[in-house]
Each structure stands twice: as structure tokens, then as C-alpha cells.
Chains A and B, each alone.
Chain A
């Protein structure tokens, strides 16, 4: 089928502001948006710039705004979108070029919540024991691939760029609820900050945007509850 593909282009070294370019591409309805971008890049305009790597929804490189919603380009098919498709960079983040945004701030927020196991006890000779139930509590938040789709879809983040954002809370949750971790106090302290979890207005954009199906709002709620219980 023929698709009318609009892509937001912007090279700050050449352009004063972003512009829309339209491309016509013939593809199978089962093709992904990433296939469309490759067709343009490899056959029409090699200067089109976008990140991608694994091509099947695992690496998190190609999150972008597709027909108004944050999606992974490699995980959304043409037949799910129709003949008119528009692609723009993730909202709320500085554009480096075309569909490539500056992710450094996003990763700085990730690092700010101490996203690593904290446990200073000398480890046992074998594995630490963890029951299947203890493991299940944080299973959902281990799925995060740090693509940025959630945080950059969040109106609270747009309104206040200092907000730590849903992705960082998800990654804090992954450790706060891990029975082996002993860093909960510090993380809750960080997330109780004025730019922490209280900025969430349960708008659910993040849940809609997450390509991994993580129930992000529930994770944020569980972290908020832990903060309340800690101060009670």
C-alpha cells in the first residue's frame, strides 16, 4: 500500500526552525514505521537522521512521536496507523537533529535515583535467597528499556522539566521493592523531593506510551504509598 509519510526535519546548523517533509513510500501493511524510515533514508534521502539498533523493541533507541503518540518505530505497524503517518521527535526534549533528541538529561534523572542494588552485607557463598512471591513484586518494573517514551509523554514533565519523571520512578521501584536491596531509605528521600513522585497527576500518558506494557502509574502509586508509610 502507498503511505503518505510526514517527517519533522530539523538541522540546527542549517535550519532556523523545524519543518515538515512529506515522502511517499510503497510498503506491505505489516511493515513497521522503522521500515518506512529506512526506505526513506536508504532510497530517497540519506541525510534523514534517527536512532535505531535492535529493530524489535528491546533496545529502546527508536522511541518517537508517531501520529501524536509516543511509540517505538520498530514496534508499530503501518496497518495499525493507516495511510497517513506523521513522525516527530519525542516531545519535551532538545532536538539534536531530525528525530534524534538529547537523552543526557533523561539519563541523568535515571542516575539520580540510585538505580543499582544497595547491599553492603558480605554476600553469601551461594545466591541470596528470594522467594517467587518476593521476585514477582517488582517483575513489572524490571522490563523498562529506558526508551524515554513515558517521561517525554508526561504533561507534568513538560510543565516542569525538573520533575524526575516516570522512567526514573519505575527504575527506583525496581530496587525499592527488591527484597535484597537496602537502599530504600535514600531512594524514598530523593523521590519525596518537590521534583519527585508528587508531581505525578495520574494522567496515564506514560502507561499508554510504554512499549513494554509496564503499569507505570501503579508503580508510582506504590512508591508514593511507601513514602507516606515511612513518614507515618
Chain B
């Protein structure tokens, strides 16, 4: 590693090259703001590309629809923990955002008269819950792939500067002002200081803290953990979504589009069990409801052959629909289970999928650091790593793509304003010093255990104790294990002593980030003595609006995470019992 860090200067720095980061970069570049995007992958590898089913917007191309209905579904889907000012922006701006994506070249599927086609998706309804509505705009079952490609293409067109395969290792925040970030260039291990007026965290989620997950191997909460270490609290981390239909054993996602097109869930006895859990929306109930129903069936011995999975059946849709609308996900079943969906049902189980919580922001994507929503000037967050909060206790299908686009774009716009009004901030003395010290300590340690073992044990305990069902007993157990793993992590050892593409060091860093995210998740889950959205406490099975209609904020301290709370923004829809 070089002794001195290389210093770069930009007006705007974006960490992460998924949909949120790229849309922000595009906004900035179109306004002529010198912008850099830093990513530990190549941009087209980002996990936005794995999103399958669609992006909801009340275009009304197939049937009557209104953004108010979309907003209501989002608020109810989030079990009323959604900040309604943000949800209104999400549902309203969905329409212009989807239209702009089409103008940027996104190849949506089309209706017979050439408009953007729309299909059904879980939890999206007409007239405040009456029946499913066709709201999801899509490009076969590779909508996320097309969004990622389209935005990357436009960033190329507008000359965005990319730092591909640079791993972020520190954020520069001093005296209440964001000043940039520090990163390692993977190819040669050199350290880089990126000094910038505005910094956007767009680093995605941290599903890899669970054993069974739909998330990429690289989704390890890097931005979330770094913000936390630099004094930013994390909001609503107890809310983690398990998607109902992961491929059994693997967790690879089979999109809700399969059910949107008419696929159904069956238990081991061949019963359509969702009739008992959600009589109106059935298989298209929100994800938290369906995931719990699947686990209830499994617990009652009605999994397939008494095992821990059930069936997803699409064979009755016919080959034409399967081939045209669900080609990729049926391929997953063929490749990874050796099952032919034309004729056979596919084994599925809930898979860790999406963090509703993250770095708290306002509706301009500016990071806020306390219960009074005080802005940290220059620091922004958008996408899964952020918490606006438009998803509350449980995100609706397609609203993640919408979130990254609407708030990625908003981040880009406010960063443009901020960059124009601000001077380049002074760097702290020895800006790369802390990161260099951490990296050198890691690389020089001669004894200790490999990071992979700690990561595996973490993923096991989080899956067993902190997933769909939680109790004080399981959470206390997990807390103890995570605490021990943190101690062991302090003595972790890497085997690769080189500087060139040192993935061993990279993965060791990622385990550290995951441990932070897991510790906060467990602490916040233990505190919240109610059940709401994806957070289900068997010892407190009811929602408790009197005591818990509030967001949690976890801050780092010597003794671990400490919690404070802030109110939920309620503008249009007062909380009601949530049935489907």
C-alpha cells in the first residue's frame, strides 16, 4: 500500500452505483456539476439489476388508478410506520419518474396501443384496498436490469467519472460537516481521499447478515456501518423484510411477478393456504403477511414432505405467458432446482430480502442526525441504505425501485443546489490516517481466525433468532452471540498479505460492517415490544400504536447501540387495523 493517499476533488461524490447512485449522478452531470461515482464493483454489477418484477406508478394505462390509492397502499403496507409526507412524494413523483425513464430509453413492455404495460403486484390495490390493480410497469422480469442499464448508459452519455472497483473504508465528517470519503483501489491497494462538497451514500442493503438471502454477496451494509461509526444514528433497523418466494435452500428470488401473473402458493397437502390468511388479496397480500403464513404452515407440519418449504405453482399459466412474462425466474428454477415450471411446482421458502431501515434522511435525501431531524450538511443517502421512511414496517413490492429512482433523483437535485452554494470543505488533518491504521492492523496480525467463519456464524444466528418470528429469548440469545462475534472479530486474521486485488481484506472489512448492522438490528428488535409489519414478536403479537407508533434511532456508544425515538409523519391516513 502506498504511504500517502492520493487526493481527488469533486463537487459531488456518490458512493455506490445502483439505481439511486446513478440517477443522482445523472441529475448532477446534466447540470454540469463535476461528479464522481465510486463503486466496489463495476456499475452494471449492482444489485438493482437483480430486481425483477416492476416499478409501480399510477399511470392508469390498463385501468383506473390514482396516486392517492398508491400512497394509501404504501402507508397501509408499511403498517402505518411510513412517513406520509414522503409516501405522498413517492406516489406522486412515481408517474413523472417512470415517464422520464421511458424517455431515457428504458424498454418497457407495451400495451396493444403502444403505451407502457402494467401488471398486478402484491399489496397494490384500487380504491383503498378493494382488489388488486394493474400498477406495476415492467420489462419482462428484468425490470431492474433495464433500469440499471439505462441509467448507466445515460451516465456514460453525460460524462460521469467512474471509480470502478474502489472500496469505501471511511467517511470524512468533522465539526458537523461532510467532507468526503476514503477508499481503497482494489487493483493495487492504494488509498484514495475523495474530497467533495456533497457526498451521497447509495450503498444498498445488508441481507448477507442472514443465511438465506436474495441479496448479492457484496451487500454488506458498508455505507450504513460507516455512517453509524461516524456518529449518524440508524433508523428503524428492527424492520427487515423476508420475501416469501426464495428458491428453497438457496434464497435466490422468484419475483412476486409470478403471483402477479396468476401463480399460486400451495402447502405440502396441495391446499391454497393463503385463503385462510388473506381472504381478499390471497397470494398477493404484502410480503410480511405471506412470509408469516408460509412459516405457520411449515410449523404446523404442512410444508412439503414436512420440510421447511412450500410450493409456488405457475404451470396453469401456460407456456406462452411463462416464456413472455416470467422467463428469467423460471430459468432459475430449472438451473438451481432442476425443476420444470411448465409442469412442476417450485419449492420456495422466505428469504432475507430488504432493509426498511437505514440512514435517516429528509425528503430531499439529506441525512438527518437526531429526533429533531437536524441536517448534517453535505451528507446524503438514498435507496436501500437510507430510511426516508417510505416503507415503514414493511415495503411493498416494486416500491424499492421507485424509492431509488424518486429519491436518487431528489438527492441529485439537492446536491446540485448544495454544490453551487458551498465551497470545497477543508479536509481533516491526515484524512486517511484512521483507515490506514485499521487496514494495517488487519494485514499485520499474525494469529487469529479467518473472517469467513465469523460471517457464517453471524448469518446462522441472525437467521435462526432474528428473522420472521422473534421473541425476547431468541433476541437475547442473538445479542450474546453477536457480542462474542464482535470480540472475535477484533482478532480476525487475513491470509492474503499482498496489495493487489486483496479480496481477503475486502471481505474482512465487509464482515465488520455486517456486525455493526446486525448489532443494531438486534438491539432495536429487542426494544420494540410490539408486532408491526415485518417485525413480529411472538411475545407481543399485537401492534401497539399507543406506545410504539414511532421510529427508532440507534446511535453508537461505548456500551453498544443506544436508542431514541422520533414521531411518524401522519398527514392523510390515520392508522387502522391492517387486514387483507
**Does B42 lie within 8 Å of A103, measured CB to CB?**
yes
Select A43's contact among B217, B332, B452, B498, beta carbons within 8 Å: B452
Select A129's contact among B45, B113, B146, B332, beta carbons within 8 Å: B113
Is B226 at the interface (CB under 8 A from chain A)?
no
Nearest-neighbour CB distance to chain B for A66, whole angstroms, equals 14
Is A115 at the interface (CB under 8 A from chain B)?
yes
**Does A49 lie within 8 Å of B503, measured CB to CB?**
yes
Closest partner residue, chain B, to A123 (CB atom): B103
A residues within 8 A CB of B335?
A: 57, 75, 77
**Known A42-B452, A127-B102; contact A132-B49, beta-carbon cutoff 8 A:** no
**Does A127 lie within 8 Å of B500, measured CB to CB?**
no
**Does A142 lie within 8 Å of B45, measured CB to CB?**
no
**Does A41 lie within 8 Å of B452, measured CB to CB?**
yes
Interface segment, one of B153-161, B229-237, B432-440, B556-564: B153-161
Closest partner residue, chain B, to A102 (CB atom): B187
Interface segment, one of B104-112, B191-199, B269-277, B298-306: B104-112
A residues within 8 A CB of B103?
A: 123, 127-128
**Does A178 lie within 8 Å of B105, measured CB to CB?**
yes
**Does B501 lie within 8 Å of A53, measured CB to CB?**
no
Interface segment, one of A7-15, A154-162, A196-204, A217-225: A7-15
**Does A53 lie within 8 Å of B450, measured CB to CB?**
no
Nearest-neighbour CB distance to chain B for A170, whole angstroms, equals 12
**Does B114 lie within 8 Å of A129, measured CB to CB?**
yes
Tell me the complex Cα distance, A106–B501, Å. 19
Interface mask (B482-501 → A, CB under 8 Å = 1, otherwise 0): 00000000000011101111
Nearest-neighbour CB distance to chain B for A14, whole angstroms, equals 7
B residues within 8 A CB of A109?
A: none
Which residues from 54 to 112 on chain A have a C-beta closer than 8 Å to any C-beta of chain B? 54-61, 75, 77, 96-97, 100, 103-104, 107, 111
B residues within 8 A CB of A178?
A: 105, 107
**Does A127 lie within 8 Å of B496, measured CB to CB?**
no
Closest partner residue, chain B, to A100 (CB atom): B501
Is B338 at the interface (CB under 8 A from chain A)?
yes
Is A143 at the interface (CB under 8 A from chain B)?
yes
Nearest-neighbour CB distance to chain A for B112, whole angstroms, equals 7
- Name, among A49, A59, A125, the residue most crowded by chain B CB atoms within 10 Å (CB to CB): A59
**Known A58-B49, A127-B99; contact A47-B504, beta-carbon cutoff 8 A:** yes
Tell me the complex Cα distance, A35–B203, Å. 25
Is B20 at the interface (CB under 8 A from chain A)?
no
**Does B110 lie within 8 Å of A96, measured CB to CB?**
no
Nearest-neighbour CB distance to chain A for B173, whole angstroms, equals 28
Select A46's contact among B157, B164, B450, beta carbons within 8 Å: B450
Is B128 at the interface (CB under 8 A from chain A)?
no
Tell me the complex Cα distance, A146–B43, Å. 11
B residues within 8 A CB of A104?
A: 164
**Does A60 lie within 8 Å of B45, measured CB to CB?**
yes
Tell me the complex Cα distance, A30–B115, Å. 42
**Known A30-B338, A46-B450, A135-B107; contact A61-B45, beta-carbon cutoff 8 A:** yes
**Does B115 lie within 8 Å of A129, measured CB to CB?**
yes
Is B135 at the interface (CB under 8 A from chain A)?
no
Nearest-neighbour CB distance to chain B for A35, whole angstroms, equals 10
Interface mask (B335-377 → A, CB under 8 Å = 1, otherwise 0): 1111000000000000000000000000000000000000000
Interface mask (B286-303 → A, CB under 8 Å = 1, otherwise 0): 000000000000000000
Is A45 at the interface (CB under 8 A from chain B)?
yes
Closest partner residue, chain B, to A114 (CB atom): B157
**Known A42-B450, A111-B156; contact A117-B498, beta-carbon cutoff 8 A:** no
Which residues from 426 to 458 on chain B have a C-beta closer than 8 Å to any C-beta of chain A? 450, 452, 456
Which residues from 16 to 44 on chain B have a C-beta closer than 8 Å to any C-beta of chain A? 41-42, 44
Tell me the complex Cα distance, A32–B109, Å. 32
Which residues from 30 to 48 on chain A have a C-beta closer than 8 Å to any C-beta of chain B? 30, 32, 41-43, 45-47
Tell me the complex Cα distance, A134–B496, Å. 52
B residues within 8 A CB of A115?
A: 153, 156
**Known A96-B501, A116-B105, A123-B103; contact A135-B145, beta-carbon cutoff 8 A:** no
**Known A59-B50, A117-B105, A126-B99; contact A47-B495, beta-carbon cutoff 8 A:** yes
Nearest-neighbour CB distance to chain B for A65, whole angstroms, equals 18
Is B47 at the interface (CB under 8 A from chain A)?
yes
A residues within 8 A CB of B102?
A: 127-128
**Known A55-B217, A115-B156; contact A96-B45, beta-carbon cutoff 8 A:** no
Nearest-neighbour CB distance to chain A for B546, whole angstroms, equals 43
**Does B112 lie within 8 Å of A132, measured CB to CB?**
yes
**Does B145 lie within 8 Å of A11, measured CB to CB?**
no
- Name, among B494, B500, B504, the residue most crowded by chain A CB atoms within 10 Å (CB to CB): B500
Which residues from 45 to 87 on chain B have a C-beta closer than 8 Å to any C-beta of chain A? 45-47, 49-50
**Does B107 lie within 8 Å of A138, measured CB to CB?**
yes
**Does B47 lie within 8 Å of A54, measured CB to CB?**
yes
Select B42's contact among A46, A77, A107, A111, beta carbons within 8 Å: A107
Closest partner residue, chain A, to B103 (CB atom): A123
Is A131 at the interface (CB under 8 A from chain B)?
yes
A residues within 8 A CB of B495?
A: 45-47
Tell me the complex Cα distance, A130–B164, Å. 35
Nearest-neighbour CB distance to chain B for A93, whole angstroms, equals 13
**Does A116 lie within 8 Å of B157, measured CB to CB?**
yes
Tell me the complex Cα distance, A179–B415, Å. 34
Closest partner residue, chain A, to B149 (CB atom): A142
Nearest-neighbour CB distance to chain A for B38, whole angstroms, equals 16
Extra contacts besides A123-B103, A181-B105 (13): CB < 8 Å: A45-B495, A47-B498, A58-B50, A61-B42, A97-B500, A100-B501, A111-B156, A114-B157, A116-B153, A128-B103, A132-B114, A143-B142, A146-B42
* Chain B interfacial positions (CB closer than 8 Å to A): 41-42, 44-47, 49-50, 99, 102-105, 107-116, 139-140, 142, 145-146, 149-150, 153-154, 156-157, 164, 187, 216-218, 252, 328, 331-332, 335-338, 450, 452, 456, 494-496, 498-504
17 A-B pairs (CB sep. < 8 Å):
A11-B500, A13-B498, A13-B500, A46-B504, A50-B503, A53-B45, A53-B216, A59-B216, A77-B335, A100-B501, A114-B157, A117-B104, A127-B103, A128-B102, A132-B112, A135-B107, A145-B145
